[in-house]
Structure 1
């Protein structure tokens, strides 16, 4: 056998043994035999570098160093799931589905793994790229680290699509986690807090050889791509197994919500029998055509719901209540606790939300309180153990003045939170606004983090986000821990932020109640900052999905002279404060005032492309037919009751070709 064939034969054999061991959990040779074969392959590859293959089993040991993880846009957005915490919420979700989807609906139940989300891209059966979730629109390229995880196939088997993304969770099984901690304790090091955070932190280690030492696993659960040929979620799981991915066998297909609830009840009792952390059940509509019909909200798919198991609860002593000031001036009371172990982490602080919550629970310093992790993420106080309360205890008096600047707090009518009105003179508000401006979902300024912003403000180098564009390298070099290269990166990152599109700049300005989705809507309607600044409350309220609170906040923001000044300065510095000509060229008002419902399967454009065409041309897309629906775009296999309802209401029923003709 010639050398190339020998190398190829060893690679294929080792890939199969790797699959048997890490995916099927059915090894057919001993660890020693595997290591000997791997060593033989390694030696052959070293002698014959002309046959190098980045997907060879020898490349799993790591060694590549990544100093800066490149941020890459997801080809297919990674949505987050909506959560439910009661059976009633799940039943309500099913009722909403029934209103939109016709015919039989089946559900796939999958355990919700508590780890770090990952998106793997495969081209021609080979691992091309691995991205973290990030903000759902873009994530960090962690390919070098993911290659070291043995349950991630570098080369696929069987009949797979030419290109697709597969999503999953990087987890750390209990056994491996315990072993890692035992080794750390032996070395006199602090043990890791919990498997989830350790798994997540592993993805961003700079040395992939260190990642290779950790017993991480990758569990896969969904596929994204065009023309995959797959028609159901359950088929996704079966196909992924055939191609070589590790897909847990606990997933089941259910015919009704009652069967779904039985599955949830079973795993609520048996979840601790699993070899890794699971914090709930994910329920998905099985039929992918029905999934497309249901579509997405701004953040989550309507066709999936995560049922979260009841959070763990512990009791501990509340030592002191302190108050934090946010970037918008909102005051948040914080309970400082005796440290307590909760859901795998040490909890020392918990949010008390607002004055009403403190009064409702009658929480006082010195109380023994019950602490939960809301959705097992953010600790919160859910009650007081009154049997242990000191008889001399006094009710909590909510503060009347800002703890940072001393300004008298205000509470707007109908709002739960108190605010510090000293917008431009309160230090945490100044720093917080700039930190929000540079954050990832906003201007995403590389080389500039929250701590550096605080240093710049404290050293009086900046007092608002417009000041960032006046900074020079020599200004920042004297700062603590600021080297020549760091200073260059900071200035370069600020300069690059001038390319960020208008809707993200608008979000970055930090107008209260204007999140990412509202910012996009406002940018699309007004096209530039001058038109938005001139808008009245009435004009804003007339916009779809913009309520009185948002309208008031936008007008109030631009009434402030300093805010207007900062906007003018941003203009001078070249920040994108209008929609680009390129983007405007693809947008018209042809469909303005019209609401469309899309139903069925289409040939020339996909459902998502149809939706985008409607929105780009001023129309609105709705998921269900009502008296407000102007057009039903009807494709093949459309449900008969939707058609009947449209006919009954006199809705215009048009084909895909009719719709495209409307645009032309």
Structure 2
């Protein structure tokens, strides 16, 4: 019997090895040696054996690519190595200036690696002992969402490596959709009566965050890996690392080129500016990297970008088409956005039917008339925009587009604030899109985080007149939910349970969730810190509110107006009666050390190593105190990029120690 088990284990491992090789032949080498049918038969045989003998489970088996698991929450993961953004250039003069800066800094010749800039979603993948361990989105560069289960379903991302790979490293790359697969998805959506997706980039990014990995698999995502990251570098150049990555089983860009001179770089760019339209996927430029890793280390980084890399962005594409109508959308805050509905036209590989007009000023600047022929551009814009009008095609009868005077949803007369270009519907408590948007915001992850209450369910509840403001959630009964479309007993119970659980959410998140105009997450936290109960906040004067750091007159007036409205007061009283947290709880801040005991800190400028909120929390956790203004009582001013008047005032005082972000971290690490 043991021999039989050993034979079965060997059979399973042989099948896995064979299927991995077929995957590589198909996706990486583009030389398949087996039919799709035969591949599926081998995969089915392996799946049957794994089901029968679960003791031989391997998370990197080819069968794991099929997906099927459901992930409701994508954990936030800190990047071990920050994912920087790239500086952009738009002409050859920019590149020449960049090269001059590099040569001046290192005082030696330089060569470049030129790669296509894929238009997709950035990813960082951790490999340990040759196996895929974790995949994380770019996020804000410091941290991202862990989406390992979904990335495993992408066929050209290797689950197991081959050759002389290092024991521990990260591969950075891009997840994208080919034009063919994007069109296939949209064709199916149109057949299902759904709106088509706007572009491959957003669809790829959205697909990576789908909860069901089996559905991710169906999207047909692709990958290209372009950057090896580790403390141990087994090469002397970026080009050599790309070659090694290819030998380990990674799909790298076939079009990448080692350029000895900037002239070769320009030739590469000019070629792909034209030929990109013949690629099976979308690119929006070329990425250039200094090839020598030694030179990369010498050049280092700015606060946000590597000095040794540059993105050359292709100029925006432009097409002409006819303006059919202008419609107006009402946002959650009541802002009105005009949208141009266009005769469908092909632009940058996708069919464009709509373009943003932003506001009335843009319409007037364009001198837009009914049925004008307009020029549409789609450079870095997610939604295309109109950049001009072909007035030669305008007819004498064509009338000028007049901006609406009343809300298209509720008929209320619009208002326009003097220093803003946007019109607003002031009927915030009864205009349907604003009411629904406010409740969607209330249940969102960063606010009350009520599971299973999606936008469609909220819209249904509103149409059925079961809810009109956030307080109404707390009187919903399961029996009222069951008649809704696609609502089962379990789903209804989950919603009720989620609403009940939301009563434990802390005050600052509730304050953010109730949707006071201009009160975001950070402002809500600062308000709660200074006004620990909703009563104290409600009774605060505009002058008292303005005393809080970063609270200006605009925010203070908005808060005062919110609490001056009787309907809002009634909602607050109801929330309080239902047990929602409307006062600050006991502090749970863990004190890590007293290394900053008695010291005062202030942060200014644009911080890159951490957020201001995180920095202030670090101060408190190590015994220090945050203050809001530069004075003789300030011990340390920590400065980021573009520090202004606070830095100058601190320098004038002379007794304040000025630190950069790393020096601040060094202070804490001395503990």
Cα distance change, pair 120–449 in 1 and its aligned pair in 2 (3 A): same
Cα distance change, pair 449–472 in 1 and its aligned pair in 2 (3 A): same
Q: Figure out how many residues of one structure are paired with residues of the other and give that number.
A: 633
Q: 1:616 — aligned with what?
A: 618
CA–CA distance in 2 between the matches of 1:33 and 1:658? 57
| TM-superposed deviation, 1:659 | 5.2
Does the alignment pair 1:583 with 2:622? no
CA–CA distance in 1 between the matches of 2:195 and 2:329? 30
The DSSP-based 3-state class of the residue aligned with 1:220 is strand
Q: 2:62 — aligned with what?
A: 57
Alignment of 1:130-279 (within 5 A): 130=135, 139=145, 141=147, 143=149, 145-157=150-162, 166-174=171-179, 195-196=200-201, 199=204, 203=208, 216-222=221-227, 234=238, 240-241=245-246, 243-250=248-255, 264-279=269-284
**Retained in 2: the 8 A contact 1:318–1:366?**
yes
Deviations 1:386-420 (A, max 9, x none): 12222122322222232333333222121101222
Query: Of the candidates 107, 111, 117, which is equivalent to residue 116 of structure 2?
Result: 111
**Retained in 2: the 8 A contact 1:318–1:335?**
yes
| TM-superposed deviation, 1:464 | 1.3
Q: 2:634 — aligned with what?
A: none
Q: 2:318 — aligned with what?
A: 313
**Retained in 2: the 8 A contact 1:83–1:308?**
no
| TM-superposed deviation, 1:75 | 3.5
The DSSP-based 3-state class of the residue aligned with 2:491 is helix
Query: Of the candidates 330, 353, 363, which is equivalent to residue 358 of structure 1?
Result: 363
CA–CA distance in 2 between the matches of 1:536 and 1:356? 35
With CA pairs under 8 Å and 6+ residues apart, which has the higher RCO, 1 or 2? 1
Cα distance change, pair 607–400 in 1 and its aligned pair in 2 (3 A): closer
| TM-superposed deviation, 1:471 | 2.1
| TM-superposed deviation, 1:378 | 0.6
Q: 2:78 — aligned with what?
A: 75
TM-score by length of 2: 0.74
**Retained in 2: the 8 A contact 1:446–1:490?**
yes
Q: 1:427 — aligned with what?
A: 432
The DSSP-based 3-state class of the residue aligned with 2:339 is strand
The DSSP-based 3-state class of the residue aligned with 1:218 is strand
Worse overlay, 319-328 or 231-240: 231-240
Cα distance change, pair 458–623 in 1 and its aligned pair in 2 (3 A): same
**Retained in 2: the 8 A contact 1:528–1:579?**
no
Cα distance change, pair 610–454 in 1 and its aligned pair in 2 (3 A): closer
CA–CA distance in 2 between the matches of 1:255 and 1:545? 51
Cα distance change, pair 607–69 in 1 and its aligned pair in 2 (3 A): closer
Q: 1:371 — aligned with what?
A: 376
CA–CA distance in 1 between the matches of 2:586 and 2:126? 30
Cα distance change, pair 166–491 in 1 and its aligned pair in 2 (3 A): farther
The DSSP-based 3-state class of the residue aligned with 2:498 is helix
Alignment of 1:500-515 (within 5 A): 500=505, 504-515=509-520
| TM-superposed deviation, 1:555 | 4.6
The DSSP-based 3-state class of the residue aligned with 2:132 is strand
Query: Of the candidates 485, 490, 493, which is equivalent to residue 490 of structure 2?
Result: 485
Q: 2:302 — aligned with what?
A: 294
Deviations 1:55-83 (A, max 9, x none): 223444x2x53456443223339979588
The DSSP-based 3-state class of the residue aligned with 1:487 is helix
Q: 2:632 — aligned with what?
A: none
Cα distance change, pair 249–610 in 1 and its aligned pair in 2 (3 A): farther
Does the alignment pair 1:660 with 2:661? no
Cα distance change, pair 268–422 in 1 and its aligned pair in 2 (3 A): same
CA–CA distance in 2 between the matches of 1:533 and 1:224? 51
**Retained in 2: the 8 A contact 1:73–1:138?**
yes
Query: Of the candidates 330, 334, 354, which is equivalent to residue 329 of structure 1?
Result: 334
Q: 2:630 — aligned with what?
A: none
**Retained in 2: the 8 A contact 1:219–1:246?**
yes
Worse overlay, 441-450 or 584-593: 584-593
**Retained in 1: the 8 A contact 2:289–2:308?**
yes
CA–CA distance in 2 between the matches of 1:325 and 1:284? 44
| TM-superposed deviation, 1:620 | 4.0
TM-score by length of 1: 0.74
The DSSP-based 3-state class of the residue aligned with 1:583 is coil
The DSSP-based 3-state class of the residue aligned with 1:333 is strand
The DSSP-based 3-state class of the residue aligned with 1:74 is strand
**Retained in 1: the 8 A contact 2:318–2:377?**
yes
Deviations 1:141-200 (A, max 9, x none): 461x5334331111234666766664433333356668x689989x99999876556655
Query: Of the candidates 359, 384, 387, which is equivalent to residue 382 of structure 1?
Result: 387
CA–CA distance in 2 between the matches of 1:592 and 1:199? 46
CA–CA distance in 2 between the matches of 1:153 and 1:42? 19
**Retained in 2: the 8 A contact 1:125–1:162?**
yes
**Retained in 1: the 8 A contact 2:415–2:426?**
yes
CA–CA distance in 1 between the matches of 2:263 and 2:126? 36
CA–CA distance in 2 between the matches of 1:127 and 1:494? 38
CA–CA distance in 2 between the matches of 1:533 and 1:85? 50
Cα distance change, pair 135–502 in 1 and its aligned pair in 2 (3 A): farther
Does the alignment pair 1:574 with 2:580? yes
Deviations 1:215-244 (A, max 9, x none): 54221245778x666999948756654543
RMSD: 5.5
Deviations 1:241-288 (A, max 9, x none): 454322225556899999977765553233234342112345679888
Extract unaligned runs of 5+ from structure 1: 600-605, 633-644
Worse overlay, 131-140 or 495-504: 131-140
CA–CA distance in 1 between the matches of 2:227 and 2:352? 33
Deviations 1:75-99 (A, max 9, x none): 339979588584499789979x99x
